[in-house]
Every structure is written in C-alpha cells, then in structure tokens.
C-alpha cells in the first residue's frame, strides 16, 4: 500500500518503521526534515509538502503535535486537502479534539475522501514494538479496509463509531493516565522519604494490585534520571486540557483530572519542562 505519513516525531518514527517492515511504501513530510532522517534511512521517501505527500498516497496519516498543527497540515494552501485524490483515506492519529475530527471529516467527504480519527496509546515503546492501542472513529468502511494496517502497528484496535469517537476514547485513556502518572510520582516521593529501596519498591508493586503500564515503563526511567520523552509533557498537558473542556461540555466535574492538569501546568508552564517526558513530573516535587 502507498502510505503518506506526516509527522516524524517520537511516535511517528516508530510507526513508520513498522509500516516499512510490513512492506508498505511510505512517503513522509515533517516540518523539520532533519527529524525525518531515521525513517528516510529505513526506506521512506521524502516529499516537500503535505500536498505532495497526499498526491502520492492512497492513505494519508498525520501525527503532529497540537490541534492547530492538524488544521494547518490539512487545510493550508499546500496541505493534504489540496493534494488528496478522491477515494483516498485520511487518518489523523494526533490526539486532538473531537470537534476537529468531525470538521475534518465533513471537508473530506465534500472532497470525495474518507476519514478516520485514530489516536493511539502506548508511548514510544508501543510505537517501536508495534504494541500500540489504536482508538478509531469515522467512516466504518475505511476502518474495515485499514484494520489490517492498524494491526501492523498495534496490538489492540477498536472502532468506537462516528467521527470524533476515537478522540473521545483517547480522552478517557488520558484521564486514566493522569491518575497513574500522579500516583507513581507521589509513590516514589513517599517511598524515598520513608527510606525504602526504590528498585525493591518497584519490583514489589509491579507484582501486586498497584501494577500498571505507566509504572512499569516510567519508574525505571526515573530511577535512572532519564527524562527523555516517550511522550512529551507539553502534549500530555494539551490532552488534559482537551479532556477537561470536553467534560465541561458534558457537565461533568473531574476534580482528580483537574488536579493532574494543574500539576502538569506547574511542570510545563511554570518550570519550562514541557520537552521532558511525562515522567519528569517528579521534578516539581523535588524542587519544593
């Protein structure tokens, strides 16, 4: 399959490499070409704009940073919608707003395209190992066609319904992750203050009811003072803000998620640590 992919960051790089391993031809674009060198060396080809990517592809996947970035790569003069051929499928894997997914789908349909919102969970490890969870909304016939492709980059793929439903599923995921990230951070702060052996604490908790993906993947990094982003803190804060806006529109009060957002605002906005991984949250406790 001829796949276009826009966004060769931490997540995109791993996904593209797995698409190449599966035998697909992949043409890529990234705002900074230097950040695409890993996938170009692996066999992807370069295009000079999102429009050029779309013109060469039957499936166009985007994974960029923020909703405004999504709008830009689809709608600008040299964007995806300017180059995509009727019958193509556009897939936004960025964690973005449900409303934007609905809007993009409406434009896609007007142009004779099909559209999916398909955000993922699993971090850099999942992207690298093809063990992502993929949450999909949009045109079901497009989902049915691409489900085997999603299976080449993820271990669990679920379809949730109309446009925007994939993004809503991802918001539910991020609300849960907010709890695990704050929990593992405060667990470490407490265990350290109590004089416990932290690797032993991790080994113990990982074998009991407290075990969770975030702890298993991020606590070992914290113990090595490794704050390299498997998922950028600034992007997680963006997700929490979206989730809370959506909750507000549904007249829901989520105080624990609100507190997590405030903690990540301290990390990202006040301490300037947005380019750290989400595990860098512990730094704001150490600096108190």
**Structural domains in the chain?**
2-162 (3.40.50.720), 168-286 (1.10.1040.10)
Catalytic, 170? Answer: yes
pLDDT at 258: 98
pTM assigned to the model: 0.95
Residue 15: closest CA among 84, 144, 158, 7? 7
Q: Give the angle 153-278-183 at the CA atoms, nearest 5°.
A: 110
Q: Strands 132-138, 114-117: parallel, antiparallel or unpaired by DSSP?
A: antiparallel
Q: Which position among 165, 170, 234, 261 bears the catalytic label?
A: 170
Phi first, then psi: what are they for 90, rounded to 5°?
-105, 135
Residue 46 has pLDDT above 70, yes or no: yes
pLDDT at 1: 95
Which residues pair with residue 25 across a beta bridge? Answer: 2
Q: Across residues 49-56, what is the average pLDDT?
A: 98
* Res. 288: pLDDT tops 90: no
Residue 150 has pLDDT above 70, yes or no: yes
- Residue 287 has a pLDDT of 76
Q: Hey, what's the torsion of the CAs at 61, 117, 231, 130, to 10 degrees?
A: -60
What are phi and psi for residue 52, nearest 5 degrees? -65, -35
Q: Which two tokens stand for residue 74?
A: 């689809």
Q: What is the mean pLDDT of residues 177-202?
A: 98
CB 23 within 8 Å of CB 47? no
DSSP string over 123-147: HHHHHHHT-EEEEEEE-HHHHHHHH
Q: How many residues does the structure list for the chain?
A: 288
Question: Is the CA virtual torsion 129, 175, 92, 274 positive or negative?
Answer: negative
The per-residue pLDDT of the chain, averaged, comes to 98
Over pLDDT 90: what percentage of the chain? 99
Burial class (CB in 10 A: 0-12, 13-18, 19+), 198: middle
Q: What is the tens place of the pLDDT at every residue in 214-272?
A: 999 999 999 999 999 999 999 999 999 999 999 999 999 999 999 999 999 999 999 99
Write the pLDDT tens digit of every residue in 57-112.
Answer: 999 999 999 999 999 999 999 999 999 999 999 999 999 999 999 999 999 999 99
- For residue 136, the model assigns a pLDDT of 99
Q: pLDDT for 195-223, tens place per residue?
A: 999 999 999 999 999 999 999 999 999 99
Between 286 and 135, name the one with better pLDDT.
135
Reading the block at residue 195, the tokens are 């004089």
Report the pLDDT averaged over residues 129-151.
98
């Amino acid at each position: 399959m001829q796949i276009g992919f826009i966004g060769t960051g931490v997540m995109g790089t791993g996904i593209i490499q797995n698409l190449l391993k599966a035998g697909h031809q992949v043409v890529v674009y990234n705002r900074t070409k230097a950040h695409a060198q890993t996938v170009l060396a692996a066999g992807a080809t370069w295009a000079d704009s999102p429009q050029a990517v779309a013109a060469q592809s039957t499936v166009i996947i985007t994974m960029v940073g923020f909703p405004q970035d999504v709008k830009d790569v689809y709608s600008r003069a040299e964007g995806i919608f300017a180059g995509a051929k009727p019958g193509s499928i556009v897939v936004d894997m960025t964690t973005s707003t449900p409303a934007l997914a609905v809007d993009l789908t409406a434009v896609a349909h007007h142009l004779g395209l099909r559209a999916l919102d398909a955000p993922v969970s699993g971090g850099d490890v999942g992207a690298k190992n093809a063990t992502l969870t993929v949450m999909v909304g949009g045109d079901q016939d497009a989902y049915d066609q691409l489900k085997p492709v999603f299976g080449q980059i993820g271990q669990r793929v679920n379809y949730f319904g109309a446009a925007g439903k994939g993004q809503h599923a991802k918001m539910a995921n991020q609300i849960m992750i907010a709890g695990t990230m704050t929990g593992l951070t405060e667990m470490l702060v407490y265990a350290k203050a109590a004089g416990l052996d932290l690797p032993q604490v991790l080994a113990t908790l990982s074998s009991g009811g407290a075990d969770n993906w975030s702890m298993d993947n991020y606590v070992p990094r914290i113990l090595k003072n490794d704050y390299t982003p498997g998922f950028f803190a600034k992007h997680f804060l963006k997700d929490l803000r979206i989730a809370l806006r959506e909750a507000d529109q549904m007249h829901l009060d989520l105080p624990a998620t609100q507190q997590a957002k405030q903690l990540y605002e301290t990390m990202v906005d006040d301490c300037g640590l947005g380019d750290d991984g989400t595990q860098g949250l512990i730094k704001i406790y150490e600096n108190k």
